[in-house]
Structure 1
């Protein structure tokens, strides 16, 4: 971007009015001060549900403070793909894979635009959207799931005292799902080599809660880890099935659900590798939660496909 720098900031949806709006107004007023109180119109490129949900709030607030702002809402899927394509091809040390054997991540090299297609984008927010991308501007939502980050957050809010999503992830990091999940080794005593199952593989999520001890005796950390595995394994398997359906070998996982959390990255990678027998590759991003924002920014106000 000509030597410029992009800065990222996230807010909870429920805090948009009191936190995000104050932050935006502060930035705009600083810009006005630097322009000797004669600023040009500043465009806010918005996408996702919030671009519509908060459109009237933003418009009224900017008018109230007499700020020269114009909000332009962009199509969410288009922004996601434009953002991902740009990050894949333009930003070094952005895309990485997870080596299941060495147990570490590895950044990939920058790719030319002509070489990145086709691929599957699995965008995990409150729910899950899966988008087949075959070329620039050529994409189709082919499936998804209602079981996503909102499911994990909602159930853990009911089952634990965690205050926010990051606390839930930290809780999961400390937990041991073997106290909650029924493993292959619990059933067979060892590996089930004939069908490729290791003793540590999960046979049934949360099954030990039902079979052995009362739920109230379980640690919230163990519950958090078990549920994280359950949701992530489910997403990974559905992603594999959609990729298999369209003969796609590259799967990019994006969305705020991941949040750079290594357990989640490991689980998604493991699921895709297990079901595809190593034939498909999972990719992750440093800025996985900002694909839509980056795409909207890249498209700019002159683009003719605003909503």
Structure 2
């Protein structure tokens, strides 16, 4: 496997000395493996919260008077679960498995424990032990999804945004008014979680029509080999060729009495009933577009109805199904807007696909694991005394590419 093609090189500086990898976490799902790790490239001691480092970063108050400032990067990577050996090779080549060893990543210590979540943490635990000598310390999947979402919403400046009419608008989240909210995680399937606070949540609904449905049906209908290929194909398609619209039924007219425009989809794939065509007569791009629209509409509608059921004002959408894809976000947004009659908006997350992996990473602190006691992640720029919680410095365009890094600083104590 060519690591360069993954977008991440083994951690090293220009002089050839490696950064120290300080912990890794995994989310092994039915379709994708998500991996997060932090690499240090600088560390220094800070005596107390009055002695701030040169970038004027904010320290979080606690009972400790001495902190260690670790500067480095959060790294993100993903792999197809069906190609788990690529993930194992990536971990081995980058020596990430040593990050879980006791005594600060000492490779001579064979007790390597890595936080992991998702069904694959159970399914592939023996494989990680056999191939890499890693013991997967399993965290509950729902716990990690919620912990990862809460972490990001408190940590990352401009993490949440709306996407309406092709325009992305970032929102400033008031930490005192964050809860309750509905978290819709779109992976292979879809979970809808009512979040009432830190570690306070309930899975209230879900659907088996999710990212796995899109990919699975897409492979059967279009012969696309990867999710990305299928998603890219949808850019070029026209779903009106296959979907039956209200106008198709009413001779081009709206159904104004009940508020349905002529362009509203009456039946996904409905035209295939009467077109007297075979599968090969349809363009793969049109099929992909119609399939994406059907699944996104369905998820948006069910999500809003659950938010309405519990009186929730905010609906955050995460998971690798979205992938920052404009058409997907627009379709979900339109569905939420339509069913709420404009009273609700769909909210998206920049780091949408890594909620579970980040939640597993944060759990190192919860368990007082090894030397990583995260107190704060900070911007590489000044922050005010009114800011609280974690801070991460990331790309400014609001998108996180596959297998890339975020520069940040971590305070440990």
Secondary structure at the aligned position of 1:191 is classed as coil
Q: Residues of 1 paired with 2:158 and 2:77: CA distance?
A: 20
Q: Residues of 2 paired with 1:293 and 1:35: CA distance?
A: 20
**TM-aligned CA distance change 1:196 to 1:4, over 3 Å:** farther
User: Does the alignment pair 1:276 with 2:340?
Assistant: yes
Q: Which structure 2 residue ranges, 5 or more long, are not aligned?
A: 1-68, 369-413
Q: CA deviation at 1:184?
A: 1.4
Q: Conserved in 1, the CA contact under 8 Å of 2:128 and 2:135?
A: no
Q: Residues of 1 paired with 2:70 and 2:178: CA distance?
A: 23
Q: Which structure 1 residue ranges, 5 or more long, are not aligned?
A: 64-68
Q: Conserved in 1, the CA contact under 8 Å of 2:245 and 2:267?
A: yes
Alpha-carbon displacement from aligned partner over 1:255-300 (angstroms, at most 9, x marks no partner): 1111111111111111011001112221111211100000110111
Q: How do 1:215-230 and structure 2 match up within 5 A?
A: 215-216=278-279, 217-230=281-294
Secondary structure at the aligned position of 1:300 is classed as helix
Give the TM-score normalised by the residue count of structure 2.
Answer: 0.67
Which residue pairs with 1:48 in the alignment?
A: 118
Q: How do 1:67-78 and structure 2 match up within 5 A?
A: 69-78=134-143
Which residue pairs with 1:66 in the alignment?
A: none
Q: CA deviation at 1:29?
A: 6.8
Indicate the RMSD between aligned Cα atoms, in angstroms. Answer: 2.3
**TM-aligned CA distance change 1:220 to 1:36, over 3 Å:** closer
Structure with more of its chain in helix, by fraction:
1
User: Does the alignment pair 1:26 with 2:88?
Assistant: no
Q: CA deviation at 1:43?
A: 3.7
Q: Residues of 2 paired with 1:81 and 1:30: CA distance?
A: 25
**Bigger Cα Rg:** 2
User: Does the alignment pair 1:232 with 2:296?
Assistant: yes
**TM-aligned CA distance change 1:110 to 1:6, over 3 Å:** farther
Structure with more of its chain in strand, by fraction:
2
Residue 245 (structure 1) aligned to one of 309, 322, 335: 309
Secondary structure at the aligned position of 2:94 is classed as helix
Alpha-carbon displacement from aligned partner over 1:42-63 (angstroms, at most 9, x marks no partner): 5421001111111111112233
Which residue pairs with 2:236 in the alignment?
A: 174
Q: Residues of 2 paired with 1:197 and 1:30: CA distance?
A: 55
Greater mean deviation of Cα atoms: 75-84 or 148-157: 148-157
User: Does the alignment pair 1:185 with 2:247?
Assistant: yes
Which residue pairs with 1:13 in the alignment?
A: 81
Q: Residues of 2 paired with 1:156 and 1:252: CA distance?
A: 26
Give the TM-score normalised by the residue count of structure 1.
Answer: 0.89
Q: Conserved in 1, the CA contact under 8 Å of 2:184 and 2:191?
A: yes
Q: Residues of 1 paired with 2:79 and 2:136: CA distance?
A: 18
Q: Residues of 2 paired with 1:29 and 1:293: CA distance?
A: 15
